Structure 1
Amino acid sequence: MPRIAEFDGVIILMYYDDHQPPHFHVRYGSDQALIHIDPTTLAAGKLPRRVEQRVIAWATRRMAELQANWERAQHHQPLAWIEA
């Protein structure tokens, strides 16, 4: 599962050919979560509240890049790194 971003100890990952709806995975220490891209919401898992808010804010700003990576992943194309 490729890493597509990393900031403040948060690792953002996206699987190739993953199930709908478009989403990404988050790892923070021993916590893990699945975040839907649009609307940007916590769909599964658990993160500390502060980290969840930071990830949601980041994903909202980077929604177009996340959606583009989702499309690439569905077609098994290389994923782009997304800055914090």
Structure 2
Amino acid sequence: MPELCRFFGIVIYMYREVGGKHHFPHIHASHGSNKAVFNIDTAELMEGFFPKKERKLVEAWIEIRKDKLKLNWMKLNTAAGSPSFFKIDPLQ
């Protein structure tokens, strides 16, 4: 699973889900044993659970990096053969 970013113990992933149940631009996030899916357009938690503090960090990161996330989503879902993506800067 391609890792886009890591900050404050949170790991952000984006990967191609051919035939997957999520048909909107989204990211997967993990923190300890918690896993969640966030909508890129709205930064909304769509599935899973994240503690409030970490959820707010992910939501802020999505808002700040939305353009890069959308570009990555486009690259990942239009790549022929091996999907491509680029790393995105963390919160600091």
Q: Give TM class, smaller chain.
A: over 0.9
Consecutive unaligned residues in structure 2, runs of 5 or more: none
Question: What are the Cα deviations for residues 32-83 of structure 1, in whole angstroms up to 9, with x where unaligned?
Answer: 0000000110000000100000000011000000000000110234211000
Determine what percentage of the aligned residue pairs are the same residue.
Answer: 32
Cα RMSD after superposing both structures: 1.1
1:47 alignment partner in structure 2: 50
1:78 alignment partner in structure 2: 84
| 1:67 and 2:70 are equivalent in the alignment | yes
Consecutive unaligned residues in structure 1, runs of 5 or more: none
Compare 45-54 and 10-19 and name the one that shifted more.
10-19
Letter matched to residue 85 of structure 2: L
Q: How far does residue 16 in structure 1 lie from its aligned partner after superposition?
A: 1.7
User: Which protein is bigger by CA-based radius of gyration?
Assistant: 2
1:10 alignment partner in structure 2: 10
1:29 alignment partner in structure 2: 32
The count of aligned residue pairs is: 84
**TM-score normalised according to structure 2 size:** 0.86
Detail structure 1 runs of 4+ shifted over 2 Å in the superposition. none
